Amino acid sequence: MFMVLYLFILSMAISVIIMAITLVLGKKTFKLTEKLSPFECGFDPFKKARIPFSLRFFLVTILFLIFDVEIAVLLPLGLFSFNLALFSYFSATLITLILILGLFHEWNQGALNWLR
The whole-angstrom distance between residue 41's C-alpha and the CA centroid of its chain comes to 37
Q: What is the mean pLDDT of the chain?
A: 80
Q: Are 46 and 40 in contact (CB under 8 A)?
A: yes
Q: What is the pLDDT of residue 74?
A: 81
pTM for the whole thing? 0.47
In tens, the pLDDT along 39-56 reads 656 666 566 666 777 788
DSSP 43: B
CATH number at residue 29: 1.20.58
Q: Are 104 and 67 in contact (CB under 8 A)?
A: no
Q: Residue 114: inside a domain, yes or no?
A: no
When divided into structural domains, the chain yields a total of 1
Residue-range definition of the domain harbouring residue 89:
2-109
Q: Cα–Cα distance between 116 and 60 in angstroms, integer?
A: 15
Q: Residue 116: inside a domain, yes or no?
A: no
Q: Residue 28: inside a domain, yes or no?
A: yes
Q: Residue 115: inside a domain, yes or no?
A: no
